[in-house]
Amino acid sequence: MNKLLKALVFDGQISVSVLDTTDMVNDAIKIHSLSPVAAAALGRTLTACTFMAYGLKNKGDKLFVTVKGNGKGGKITVCGNGELQMRGYVENPSLDLPLRSDGKLDVGGFIGKTGKLNVTKSMGLKEPYTGSSNLVSGEIAEDFTAYYALSEQIPTAVALGVRIGKDLKCIGAGGVIVQAMPFASEKALKKAEEIILTITNVSELVETIGAEGIMDKYFSCTKFENFTPQYKCLCSRENTERILASLGKKECMDIINEEGEIKVDCEFCNTVYTFDINDVNKIFN
């Protein structure tokens, strides 16, 4: 089961979040037939975005994140909402790369070291909030750390990891994220950052001691709030009909005349919705 554990530590000065996203990454692998490095790149992004989605004010608020670097893996897109229903895809899901010299998956090589991290948060009727920062390494954790520092001005430290087993199954994925509360002292912040720096094997820790074990081992914390994120696409035939309606009847009939039917492919879950001439007539009647 996916988990997001949240607690305040160091006299309430630091907010710590520990995520187990192993099932979420396995869902993504199944849907998109991801290579190991693509699974790590998308999995790390899904994990960081799950943390970010928690920060939305209301359950109906939405998050839209893209990571676009100059690597061959292409753009990563992740969406989510305040209910922690997450989904995502990567441009080149089957691209694989050799392991790095330290034996880790080469996420930085897959994504590329130069590019942008873009965030859009839609909250109620107000104009959406948008933020953006340059990629630091393409390794995702450092890129989100930089995003929070530059775009949201919240001191944050992020550790993320995805471990892929021999049969292309994720055996451990998750993250540890610490964030300074507005009144946090320099000392508390430094202590939290030092702890994050020692966590170089998040995925292995998730696999062996679990999210609760990480809370206890690194933050001596046994009391926390517990949330359950999931990989969930919210597309539907009704929503797709609405998109076609907004295209207009002429546009739709042109496609029917040329192709015989309209096929709409959801990039997040690979469901294909097919509409024939009768369906199109129904939409516009």
DSSP annotation of 71: S
Q: Is 219 helix (H, G, I), strand (E, B) or coil?
A: helix
Region of 107-115, 124-132, 170-178, 225-233 interacting with Zn ion (CB under 5 A) = 225-233
Least gap, CB of 29 to Zn ion (angstroms): 16
* 18 lines the binding site for Zn ion (CB under 5 A): no
Which region among 54-62, 126-134, 203-211, 228-236 touches Zn ion (by CB under 5 A)?
228-236
Q: Which is nearer to Zn ion, 81 or 156 (CB)?
A: 81
Question: What's the CA angle centered on 38, arms 35 and 41, to 5 degrees?
Answer: 155
Residue with Cβ nearer Zn ion (189 or 266): 266
> Considering the complex, what minimum distance in angstroms separates the CB of residue 270 from Zn ion?
7
Q: 3-state class of 106 per DSSP?
A: coil
Could you tell me which residues are beta bridge partners of residue 65?
78, 119
Asked whether position 233 contacts Zn ion by CB under 5 A, the answer is yes
Sign of the torsion formed by the C-alpha atoms of 93, 267, 61 and 121:
positive
Instruction: Find how far residue 1's CA is from the centre of its chain.
Output: 17
264 binds Zn ion (CB under 5 A): no
Question: Which has the closest alpha carbon to 237: 197, 202, 266?
Answer: 266
Could you say whether residue 154 binds Zn ion (CB under 5 A)?
A: no
Residue 210 near residue 47, CB atoms below 8 Å: no
CB of 173 to Zn ion, least distance (A): 21
Instruction: Please state the length of the chain.
Output: 285
Contacts of 225 (CB under 8 A, 6+ apart): 5, 6, 7
List the one residue from 147, 231, 268, 275 that touches Zn ion (CB under 5 A): 268
The count of residues interacting with Zn ion (CB under 5 A) is 6
Q: Does 266 bind Zn ion (CB under 5 A)?
A: yes
Q: Which is nearer to Zn ion, 104 or 232 (CB)?
A: 232
Residue 147 or 268: the one with the smaller Cβ distance to Zn ion is 268
Q: How far is the CB of 84 from Zn ion (least distance, A)?
A: 17
Letters for 179-218 (x = contact with Zn ion by CB under 5 A, - = none) are: ----------------------------------------
SS3 of residue 265 by DSSP: strand
- Cα separation of 269 and 32, whole Å? 8
Binding residues vs Zn ion (CB under 5 A): 233, 235, 266, 268-269, 271
